[in-house]
Structure 1
Amino acid sequence: MAARATWALDGSPDEALDALDRWLRPGTSGGEWCAAALALGAIGPAAARSAPALRAGLGARDLWVRVRSAAALWRITGDAAETLPVLLAAWEENRHTRVAVAECLAEMGPAASDAEPAIRAELARRRRHNAREDGAGSHDVHDDEKLLTLCRAALTQMERRTY
């Protein structure tokens, strides 16, 4: 996304945030919203002014808008109280969100401790979350290994305490 590249080049988020905020308005497609949320999350705390618009995405009908908004909000605000419930609900609602959710949980560290049972259950499953009856899917093994790696990383990070 050009806005993210602009921010990366000049280090000032204002121009990038102006562009990204336009994609966080009602009527924006889910794909555009998600792209903006990903870029805002990459910018991090410097994108704090976009947090209210991202909060609106937490209640969206589109599951991926909710997931991407929650992850971006975590990366911007560090507020697990508003983001973790959304991420855990998405984890339960659709198994295909688990890689994205686990990535964010690993970043959250101890703040994601309420997710520990879900992560441990995923790691204990004999039959993986994305196994298909027909055996189809060229990315299944890669995605599964990535999920397992992220789940292990999340548990390791949860065990770390900040003193």
Structure 2
Amino acid sequence: MTSRAPRIAAWLALLIPASLLGGALVSQYVFGLYPCEMCYWQRWPHWAALALGGIAVLSVRRVQGLAVGMAALAAIAIATSGLIGGFHAGVEYGWWEGLTTCATSVPAGATTDDVLNSIMAAPLVRCDAAPWSMFGISLAGYNFLLSLAGAAAIYLLLRRKQPGTIVA
């Protein structure tokens, strides 16, 4: 009996980034929650994972080694997005300082023109303010949780050598 784990891992590698990107795009274009710079950073690894997951799904029946490799790379990309989301969530919750390109900063002793220029150069959407949250968790926090859980699930499925066993 052969394991179905690589096929399930390949489908997860496709569906997890597709779902998270879909949710981000719906929140942006349907609900008007415009992304900040760090929100865009979280999307790039998901786009890569989506492509890798697609290759994994298409090759799982023909070249299982390729499918496993692509699913593993997709899991790494998904985890990368989750880690960026974790950093972003920490900035939103005020646990640490964000990047200076995401917020307005006015130097000490600035003139009125400097203050005005600083305000005008600020991004429209700040990285340190969560535009939406549910149960106290922001979208970046959900990306962190769902991405790392999904990447771990793919990893565990790929480590399975035969049905019912996982090799550490």
TM-score (norm 2): 0.30
Bigger relative contact order, structure 1 or 2 (CA pairs below 8 A, ≥6 apart): 2
Q: Which of the two has higher C-alpha Rg?
A: 2
TM-score (norm 1): 0.30
1 or 2, which has the higher helix percentage?
1
